[in-house]
Structure 1
Amino acid sequence: MPKAKETVLEIDLKALAHNYAFLKAKLVPETMFLGVVKAFAYGSDSIVIAKKLQELGADYLAVAYTKEGVALRKAGITLPILVLHPLPTSFKKIIKHRLEPNIYSFKILKEFMAVAEKRGEKKYPIHIKFNTGLNRLGFVEEDVDEICKLAESQDAIEIASVFSHLAASEDLNEKEFTLRQLSIFDSISNKMRAKLLHKPFRHTLNTSGIINYGKRAQFEMVRSGIGLYGYGNEAAVDKELMPVATLKTIISQIHEIKAGESIGYNRKYKAEASMVTATLPVGHADGIGRIYGNRNGFVWINGKKAEIIGNTCMDMIMVDVTGINCQAGDEVIVFGPKASAEDLAKGASTISYELLTGISQRVKRLILE
């Protein structure tokens, strides 16, 4: 790997291919695979990741918002793209760019049908989401009859899939709850398929669902987000995956701090004894939030852990390098294959998802083939 000369996010496409193969191996060959590339592909680069997933043979992609899907289309991505949270104001753009909306309420269903009919569409693919326990978005089982009547009453739209979202698939202490969700979804999806002339495919497993419930609930497709980027929500799985993103920076300056001196804004850290600090050009505007300050977070310098001290600044952090042999210009690893984003996040009582997706777009991306 090249040594960093500035703050940079390295994106390793070989790691992505490894993770894709690992997850695909959990499935029977005919099960379709949807790669989630929302939020700049979990903080990396959505276009680069989408192109690689298309090359690897993924069947679908998913984004959160229409704007994300439009960007992929403009970049030449031809795979079907599911928009997970479409809003009525974007329906015309969705159709223009051949994106496929998640329909989660009668209001959204009727409004999208009206737009599709007005534009002369025939059998435009939509996806119907059911709420089976996450209580975020979705229809409920009692809505099946009305949904099917509306779908069969016209030919502007066609239900391509029926899906749901698991609330706690990574937590085996919640196995009973997850199995109940899967049972509810199985009942709903079977009713839908029985009532519709066109039989929609089904999907509900996320990354942890693939790992923990893949043998019993693959249906026709699965969806993976965090697993593709190298994190499996449990230590044993993390060992099998390869983090795609590595955040690196450098040491800008070394300071010798005397006992009693303060460091950073609001004098949040005061040295109890003489110490050495390093200032790094990465801060909360880059995604390393204030929650990581005051020894809640750390970086790695020449193989040794250096804790973040004082308040995180907008563009800089200060770290304790007392006892670490280092100098200005040395490379610093914030997270990556040997410095898990999950471990860094835990120290600040958050999760790898938040850390990864929070990396600012001002941080330079370096693509590694």
Structure 2
Amino acid sequence: MPKAQETVLEIDLSALKHNFEYLKSKLQKDTKFLAVVKAFAYGNDADTIALYLQDLGVDYFAVAYTGEGVALRNAGITKPILVLHPLPTSFHTIIERCLEPSIYNWKVLNAFLEVATAKNQKQYPIHLKFNTGLNRLGFDLEDIQTIHSKLQWSETIHIKSIFSHLAASEDLSEKAFTEQQIQSFKNITETFEKVFDYKPLLHLSNTSGILNYSDAHLDMVRSGIGLYGFGNSEKENKNFKPIATLKSVISQIHHIEKGETVGYNRAFKSEEAITTATIPIGHADGIGRQYGQGKGYVIIKSQKAPIVGNVCMDMIMVNITGIVCEEGDEVIIFDTSHTAEHLANTANTISYELVTAISQRVKRIIIK
């Protein structure tokens, strides 16, 4: 693989295929697979990844907001796209672009029904979100009868699925809570089928739900972080391949004398003579200030080089004392060995935050 000559994010589609096939191996043959490609496919390249997954046979896609769904349609995605957090201002666009909204409260339901009726829609697919303990979005069990009363004479919309979201499926110390959520969703689905007299698609499991709760796979599962190479545990991480490698180069090397300072606010004061390298990546690229002051590190010539002082908007400085390197040499911010999860841990955060923060100004290179 060629050495980086600038800051780039390499995206390995073979790793994506591996992760998809591993997750699929956990499912029953008829269980549908929804790929979550919100936030630029978790900071990668949503168009390329979604098109590749569509070719691999994904059944559904999910995005957070309507604009993300529109971008996928423009890229050539023809599979159904669930919009997880639509806002009423986007409902005309949702219908025009054949997107499927999550309906999670009365205001949203009433607003979408009004727009769909005005547009003379028949059986337009919607997805009802229920709250089972995450306490973020969703109707409650007690709302089902009123929803039925409101919709029973309407042919405008069709409830294609009902779903909920697990709050702590990756944390086995919270197993009792997760099982309580699963039971709550079961109660919701049983009540729904009794009141509405039909069975929509049921989905509850996220990546960790797929891995840890086979009884909660139901009709469809939703995976985001697993597709991109993280299993939310040391055990499962071994079964996944991170799809992204973030690389840069050494722009300049400095020899810092004892007592000299490095970077903004003179945040680092050297207690001895050291050598630093300046790298063209900063908090505008997704490497937040929390990685500064020696917490985060990069890899140069297979050795760790800690970040010195504050992270700048466009640059970081790292300590390369004892590392034999020169200007123009490649720098690894994260890859398959020194993963985004490892780097995120240094700042007491999670891989999700780090990878989704990678700026769109960072060049993407697709490895097929």
> What's the % identity of the aligned pairs?
60
After alignment, is 196-205 or 260-269 more displaced? Answer: 196-205
CA deviation string 1:318-361 (max 9, x = no partner): 00000111110001110110111001001001110000000000
Amino acid at match of 2:58: A
The equivalent of 1:38 in structure 2 is 38
Describe how 1:127-138 pairs up with structure 2 within 5 A.
127-138=127-138
> CA RMSD, aligned part only?
0.7
Residues 159, 198 of structure 1: 8 Å contact kept: no
SS in 1 for 2:226: helix
The equivalent of 1:294 in structure 2 is 293
Q: Kindly state the Cα deviation for residue 151 of structure 1 after the two structures are TM-superposed.
A: 2.5
Matched, 1:117 2:117: yes
Q: Kindly state the Cα deviation for residue 195 of structure 1 after the two structures are TM-superposed.
A: 2.2
Amino acid at match of 1:318: M
CA–CA separation in structure 1 for the residues paired with 2:48 and 2:217? 27
Q: Kindly state the Cα deviation for residue 193 of structure 1 after the two structures are TM-superposed.
A: 1.9
CA–CA separation in structure 2 for the residues paired with 1:191 and 1:341? 42
Describe how 1:286-365 pairs up with structure 2 within 5 A.
286-365=285-364
Question: Which structure 1 residue ranges, 5 or more long, are not aligned?
Answer: none
CA–CA separation in structure 1 for the residues paired with 2:155 and 2:197? 12
Amino acid at match of 1:23: L
The equivalent of 1:141 in structure 2 is 141
SS in 2 for 1:159: strand
The equivalent of 1:238 in structure 2 is 237
CA–CA separation in structure 2 for the residues paired with 1:236 and 1:271? 40
CA deviation string 1:147-184 (max 9, x = no partner): 12222220000000000000000000000000000000
CA–CA separation in structure 2 for the residues paired with 1:54 and 1:190? 32
Q: Kindly state the Cα deviation for residue 258 of structure 1 after the two structures are TM-superposed.
A: 0.5
Q: Kindly state the Cα deviation for residue 191 of structure 1 after the two structures are TM-superposed.
A: 1.3
Amino acid at match of 2:44: S
CA deviation string 1:293-338 (max 9, x = no partner): 0011001001001100100000000000001111100011101101
Matched, 1:2 2:2: yes
SS in 2 for 1:49: helix
The equivalent of 2:73 in structure 1 is 73
The equivalent of 1:183 in structure 2 is 183
Amino acid at match of 1:180: Q
CA–CA separation in structure 1 for the residues paired with 2:311 and 2:73? 37
CA–CA separation in structure 1 for the residues paired with 2:197 and 2:179? 29
TM-score using structure 1 length: 0.99
Q: Kindly state the Cα deviation for residue 198 of structure 1 after the two structures are TM-superposed.
A: 4.1
Q: Kindly state the Cα deviation for residue 201 of structure 1 after the two structures are TM-superposed.
A: 0.7
Amino acid at match of 2:265: N
CA–CA separation in structure 2 for the residues paired with 1:133 and 1:82? 21
Amino acid at match of 2:238: K
CA–CA separation in structure 2 for the residues paired with 1:162 and 1:301? 49
Residues 9, 364 of structure 1: 8 Å contact kept: yes
The equivalent of 2:62 in structure 1 is 62
CA–CA separation in structure 2 for the residues paired with 1:307 and 1:160? 51
CA–CA separation in structure 1 for the residues paired with 2:313 and 2:154? 54
The equivalent of 1:277 in structure 2 is 276
Matched, 1:87 2:83: no
Matched pairs, number = 368
CA deviation string 1:124-146 (max 9, x = no partner): 00000000000000001110111
CA–CA separation in structure 1 for the residues paired with 2:356 and 2:152? 40
Amino acid at match of 1:267: R
CA–CA separation in structure 1 for the residues paired with 2:2 and 2:122? 51
Structure 1 ranges of 4+ moved more than 3 A: none
Matched, 1:221 2:216: no
Matched, 1:163 2:163: yes
Amino acid at match of 2:22: F
CA–CA separation in structure 2 for the residues paired with 1:226 and 1:174? 20
CA–CA separation in structure 1 for the residues paired with 2:12 and 2:312? 28
SS in 2 for 1:219: coil
SS in 2 for 1:23: helix
CA–CA separation in structure 2 for the residues paired with 1:151 and 1:127? 14
Q: Kindly state the Cα deviation for residue 197 of structure 1 after the two structures are TM-superposed.
A: 4.3
Amino acid at match of 2:20: Y
Q: Kindly state the Cα deviation for residue 196 of structure 1 after the two structures are TM-superposed.
A: 2.0
Question: Which structure 2 residue ranges, 5 or more long, are not aligned?
Answer: none
The equivalent of 2:52 in structure 1 is 52
CA–CA separation in structure 1 for the residues paired with 2:197 and 2:226? 35
